[in-house]
Each structure stands twice: as C-alpha cells, then as structure tokens.
C-alpha cells in the first residue's frame, strides 16, 4: 500500500528541487538518512521527473546516465515468469518494462511522492505493477520469495547501513537468485558535481566516507548521500552472503547527448560515472 505524499514536504528552490539552506560533511545514521531522504524525494519528485522522465521513459529500463538499457545489456538475463523485486523504483519505469517482458514484479520505494507518480503511470500505460512503500533496510517480504532483485540508482547510495540492506536482499532472494544494482561510481566522490570536464580536479578525498548532508533554513536534515569505495562495495556484497560475479563500469553510449547532473558525454569519455554490481545468492 502507498500513502499519499504530503502536500508541501519541503520549501522548493526556483528549479523545483528542495532548497538547501546548508551543506555539511558529517555523520548521519540510518534513521536520519531515511527520514531526510523520504522528505527530499517526496518534494523533488515533480521536478526530477520533469527533468528526467522523458529519458527514463514510462516503461523502459535505464541502468545509468551513460545510457545502458536492460534491453541491450541483459544483465538480469531471462526475466519471463520470474518474481522480481525492484528496490528504489521511483516512478517505476523499470518495473513496468519488466512486467511487459513477462516478469512478476514488486516495485518498492521509500518515497510516497515517487510512488504517487508510479501509480499514475500504471494507470496511463495500462501496465500495472504492485507498488510498495518501504525502506531498503527492512524489506517487508518473505525469505526466499524473489528470483531476482534489481536497483537502478534506486536507494543504495542513500542508505547508511548498506551492509544491512544487502543482507535484506540476500534474505528475500531464493538460492541461486540474482541481484544487479547500479550506483554512483566511487570515482565521482572526489570531483566537483559538474558535467564540465574542465572541473575534473580533486576537491576531496576518495577515502573520506563522511556523508554529504543538506539542511533546510531551520537546520533540519533534508538530504543525505553516503559514499563507499569500490572495495567497500565488494566487501558489502560478499559480507551479505552474496557471490560477486561482475563489476561493470559502463562507457558512454555513442550518440547519446543527455547531461544528467555530473554526467555528460564529454566527461563520460574520460572517467566512469556508474558502477554496476552483479551478484547471486549461493545455492
């Protein structure tokens, strides 16, 4: 079940995104991260989907800003007849694509604002997927109930206890089940958040795991993003009891012109922007 989003979760800036009164690098635990990011995505959903919705599509599976789509990459392999969990579904275009490919899908997200848009698109496309509002760190699903799990930039960079979230993924997967997730490439962390290749200069330490935190004018935390190194991701996957089968760093799709935050064709030709984890549950 999804709950209706609050009418005005946060004050908005002129671009439609939540206004940041302050920015800091400091610790932020699971409870603070969940609370802040639920508020932020509820408020940001209209602006985010207005900016990126045409690229994401209504029933399409885009893994990353570099332009890799599941229809081309086949990272999940054959999904027909499989029970699939999407974590951090947003407006759920990936889940609708999976449903069209014959999968039995559950689309999960923390944000009621995003799920409200997902429900609208379910109706307008005629491709209905079940929507579930929940935290990735506490999946309300039975042990071994899923054949596949996936997350396309959906939630993991915002989770404080990613090891716990991956243990939850391992718990709900059946033995032999597959998990594929795309996340911010750790190489992005030390550089300015700019698509300009001239801004490829080190401004912070790759090894500094201190979260990035935004607050509003009253000092309330409204956004939290967590950084892990490549090694951290590997240890988190293996520590959750999963077998890491591959690490992908997608190259920029030829002819693709879209800028997406720090991602751009010019910058994408020089450094990776996305890391894709491919794993399975033993058995």
Q: Is position 1 within any domain? A: no
Q: Is position 107 within any domain? A: yes
The residue length of the chain stands at 283
pLDDT tens-place string over residues 195-215: 999 999 999 999 999 999 999
Instruction: Residue 187: count other Cβ atoms within 10 Å of its Cβ.
Output: 16
Q: Is position 179 within any domain? A: yes
Q: What CATH number does the domain containing 80 carry? A: 3.40.50.150
Q: What is the mean pLDDT of the chain?
A: 95
Helix, strand or coil, per DSSP, at residue 181: strand
Q: Is position 13 within any domain? A: no
Q: Is position 8 within any domain? A: no
Q: Give CA–CA dist 68/180, Å, rounded.
A: 13
For residue 53, what are its two tokens? 């919705």
Burial letters 175-186, b for 16+ CB under 10 A, else e: eebbbbbbbbbb
Q: To the nearest whole percent, how much of the chain has pLDDT over 70?
A: 97
Number of folded domains in the chain? 1
Q: Left (φ > 0), alpha (ψ -120 to 50) or beta: where does 199 sit? A: alpha
Q: For the full predicted model, state whether its pTM sits above 0.85.
A: yes
Residue 190 has a pLDDT of 95
pLDDT band at 47 (very low <50, low <70, confident <90, very high): very high
Per DSSP, helices labelled H in the chain are 30-56, 70-73, 93-100, 112-125, 162-172, 230-239, 265-268
Domain interval for residue 135: 22-280
Q: Is position 133 within any domain? A: yes
Residue 154 has a pLDDT of 85
Mean pLDDT of 48-54: 96
The conformation of residue 212, written as its DSSP 8-state character, comes to E
pLDDT tens-place string over residues 106-136: 999 999 999 999 999 999 999 999 999 999 9
């Amino acid at each position: 079940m999804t709950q209706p989003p609050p009418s005005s979760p946060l004050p908005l800036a002129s671009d439609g995104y939540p206004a940041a009164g302050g920015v800091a690098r400091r610790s932020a635990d699971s409870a603070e991260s969940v609370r802040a990011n639920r508020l932020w995505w509820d408020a940001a959903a209209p602006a985010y989907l207005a900016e990126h919705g045409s690229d994401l599509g209504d029933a399409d599976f885009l893994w990353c800003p570099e332009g890799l789509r599941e229809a081309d990459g086949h990272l999940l392999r054959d999904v027909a007849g499989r029970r699939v969990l999407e974590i951090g579904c947003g407006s759920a275009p990936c889940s609708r694509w999976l449903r069209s490919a014959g999968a039995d899908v559950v689309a999960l997200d923390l944000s009621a604002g995003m799920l409200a848009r997902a429900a609208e698109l379910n109706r307008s496309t005629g491709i209905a997927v079940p929507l579930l509002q929940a935290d990735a760190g506490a999946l309300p699903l039975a042990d071994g109930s899923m054949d596949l799990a996936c997350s396309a930039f959906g939630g993991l960079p915002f989770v404080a206890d990613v090891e716990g979230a991956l243990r939850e993924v391992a718990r709900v997967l059946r033995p032999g089940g597959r998990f594929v997730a795309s996340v911010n490439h750790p190489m992005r962390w030390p550089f300015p958040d700019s698509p300009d290749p001239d801004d490829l200069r080190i401004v912070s330490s790759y090894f500094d795991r201190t979260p990035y935190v935004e607050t509003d004018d009253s000092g309330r935390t409204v956004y939290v993003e967590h950084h892990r190194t490549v090694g951290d991701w590997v240890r988190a996957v293996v520590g959750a009891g999963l077998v890491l089968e591959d690490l992908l760093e997608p190259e920029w799709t030829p002819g693709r012109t879209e800028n997406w935050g720090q991602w751009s064709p010019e910058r994408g030709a020089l450094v990776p922007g996305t890391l894709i984890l491919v794993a399975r549950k033993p058995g």
